[in-house]
Each structure stands twice: as structure tokens, then as C-alpha cells.
Amino acid sequence: MQTTRLKLILHRFAIPVLGGLGFVLLALTHHIHFIPLVHNVILLISFVCEAAALVLMFLLVKQLSIKKIFRILIYIVLVLLSVASCFANFLLFSLDVRSLAHFEYQNQTYYYNYEGFIDPYYGIYRQNDALTTTKIGEYYNYIGSPDTLSEQDKQIIVIQATQDGMRRAGDTKSSSVQSSAEKNSNNQESISTADEISALLNTLKPSDVIRIQNSSYGLVWIDKAMAQYRWIFVVIDEQNIRYISELPATSATVEGQIEDEGSILVTCTDTDDSQQTYRSTDGGRTWELSS
């Protein structure tokens, strides 16, 4: 008799404890960005706690001294609750489980996880320490296997995600790629775009810049949409990368050189090997198509 009573007390105590622990662990994964392995383990433990609480509820009902009809009704309710809980947990686990895919960039580890449903995108997370990460933003192009990512691919992923995170945080104004006519008709928006790019350049190192030989100038790829690339012209002052202008071309490959008279030539090569050359005579501030 005392053993049965002790079991009832333990069950009544364990059910809210396990249920509460499962809820707390689930809430914890949504408030702290753990590395994927830790996140998935905590998620799994929370579901095990909830499942254990349901099992104990069945055992508790079995030990209650109640009429058979009430016991059957309670069992039916618990079965329905179990089915609903299992479905919800399966759906939540499928949507919330994190991919272990990651890459190394500038001595930092970045994890990426597909999080899109209606609008496909990847969440990009920078590892802080052994257990936690920080979400720097979202990336809206396809990311393949980490083994297939080049250094330029990693660079553009980090830059675009950082840009997205800055927009969402309200630190800078939202920018978009504009046509030349739009830029000429809206100087104020061009200024804000330049400020945003300058902020993004603070996340790069001089080694990330495509250097132009015998000069302090360089080219940086900051955006990509399908086969079109967005390039900017920069100057490297000691360890600082300073924005000068945006190139009018959207080619996949660019290469620069300094002519004897001081003009800057940038040759842009498309994926079909067609080329265009742009010239600047004012230190890269403006560009014109070279014949």
C-alpha cells in the first residue's frame, strides 16, 4: 500500500517536472543560438522529456481507483493527446533541427542552415565559442556542399548575410542595386549605399581584395544574383579598405591594371568569354567604356 502511494506521489511529481523541463529546453533553443550539434541534442532531450511525461500519465491513470468507464475516457483523451503531441513534436523537430554544414572563413567558423519555407533562404551563424553561435543574417542564394565553396563563395555569403543582418537591425538603410538612371536621379540614396558598403568592408581583410599590381587599388565582389556580380573599386590604406566607386559591369571575372599615364583599366570577362574594358582617369571615381 505504501509502495503504491509512493509511486503515485512520484508520478504526480515527475509528470510536471518532465513536462516543464521539456518546455524549458525547447524555449532555450529558441533564445540561445547553440552550435547545431548541441541544439539538436537539447531538442531531442526536450522531446524525450515530454514523451516520458505522457507515459507516466498513462501509468498514473492505471493506478487510480476510479470507475472503468472514467478510466477508458481518460485513456481516450490521453491517446488523442499523445497522437497530437507526437505529430507536433515530429513537425517541430523536422523544422527546427539544424544542419551541421559549416565552412571556415578568416579563422572563423560559419554554420548555414536551410530555413526557408515560402521564400527559400539560409540562416548564417558565426560561432562564438565552443557552444554558441550568433546569427549574422540570411542568405538568399543556393549554398552547396562545404567542399564545393571557394574562398570567393564564402566571402560573398558572409558579406550578404552581414548586409541582411544590418538591414534587419536597423543599423543602416536598406540598399538595392539601382540602374544608372536611378542613381543619377537620387544622389541621397547613392550616398547611403556608399555608407553601407563602407560598413561592410570593415568585415574584410586586405587579403580578400583582388589587388591591382603596382598600386594600392583593388576590386571586391560584394553581391551576386544568378550570373551577375556586383563589384566595387576600393583603395587599401594600411589595413583599412576604403570604398571609392561601384563598377558599371556585372561580369563574373574582373582584372585591373595601371597604365603608364596613370589611368586605371578594368577588364571584365563574362561567362561566355566576352569582354568589356572600363577606364578611369580620376582615381576610380568615375568609369567610362573604353573603345
pLDDT, residue 176, reads: 39
Whether the pLDDT of residue 218 is over 70: the answer is yes
- Tens of pLDDT along 229-263? 788 899 888 778 888 888 888 887 788 889 888 89
Query: Which pLDDT band, with edges at 50, 70 and 90, does 209 fall under?
Result: confident
CB 212 within 8 A of CB 284: no
Nearest Cα to 15, choosing from 23, 5, 26?
23
Whether the pLDDT of residue 142 is over 60: the answer is yes
Alpha-carbon gap, residue 181 to 213, rounded angstroms: 32
Question: What is the residue extent of each domain of the chain?
Answer: 2-96, 102-169, 180-289
- Tens of pLDDT along 57-95? 777 777 767 777 777 887 788 778 777 777 776 777 677
pLDDT, residue 159, reads: 77
The x, y and z cell numbers of residue 159, run together, are: 558579406
Query: Which pLDDT band, with edges at 50, 70 and 90, does 161 fall under?
Result: confident
**H/E run at residue 77:** helix 68-96
pLDDT > 90 in the chain, percent: 14
pLDDT, residue 132, reads: 94
Query: Which pLDDT band, with edges at 50, 70 and 90, does 27 fall under?
Result: confident
Provide the CA 99 distance to its chain's centre, in angstroms. Answer: 12
Alpha-carbon gap, residue 149 to 142, rounded angstroms: 11
Mean pLDDT across the stretch 155-168? 77
CB atoms within 10 A of CB 238: 6
CB 34 within 8 A of CB 132: yes
Mean pLDDT across the stretch 270-277? 82
CB 178 within 8 A of CB 189: yes
Nearest Cα to 64, choosing from 13, 12, 139, 22?
12
pLDDT, residue 4, reads: 54
pLDDT, residue 110, reads: 95
Q: What is the mean pLDDT of the chain?
A: 78
Mean pLDDT across the stretch 8-25? 73
Mean pLDDT across the stretch 158-181? 59
pLDDT, residue 183, reads: 40
